[in-house]
Amino acid sequence: MEEKGQASVEYLLLIVVILIILASVTIPLVSSSVNSTMDVSRSSDTKNAIESMANAVNLVYANGPGAKRTIDVYLPQNMNLIFDYSSKTINQTLALSSQNKTISANVDYNVTFINPNPNKGWHQTKIEWPTNQENRTSIQVVFLT
């Protein structure tokens, strides 16, 4: 009778050891895949925001001086938007779990960001080509809310 009880305890200990080994292997894999999924999601949201702004800038440029457009944009992180005059691109550096990635979108005309560091979240954004002569050299992007 005592041998049956000892066998049950040994099986229970064996199952516990197997569960510990299985957990030590799967938890890092799950953590890695969650980080990768979050990176893809943030990259996609950032690319969508940058391209929405670039499309609005191109539309305002096509309409000429005095044109305005207001769009709603979701920013997945605090942004530091930079316009590169040599390549005419709007750039945002995105901090991912393993590296930094620069996301960019091409525009047809120069862009000036009035407040280039908006916070994470939804923003109503005004894109405007001013009519006054001193500001006519670039299209202005203003984050209103």
Mean pLDDT of 27-42: 84
- Is the pLDDT at 135 greater than 80? The verdict is no
88: left (phi over 0), alpha (psi -120 to 50) or beta: left
Full residue range of the structural domain in which residue 19 is found: 2-143
User: Do 89 and 108 form a contact (C-beta atoms < 8 A)?
Assistant: no
Tokens of 87: 């390549």
Query: Number of structural domains, the chain?
Result: 1
**What single DSSP character describes residue 130?**
-
The predicted-structure confidence for 76-120, as pLDDT tens digits, reads as follows 888 889 899 999 999 998 888 888 889 999 998 989 888 888 899
95's CB contacts (< 8 A; 6+ apart) are 77
Mean pLDDT of 118-126: 92
> Which pLDDT value is given to residue 133?
60
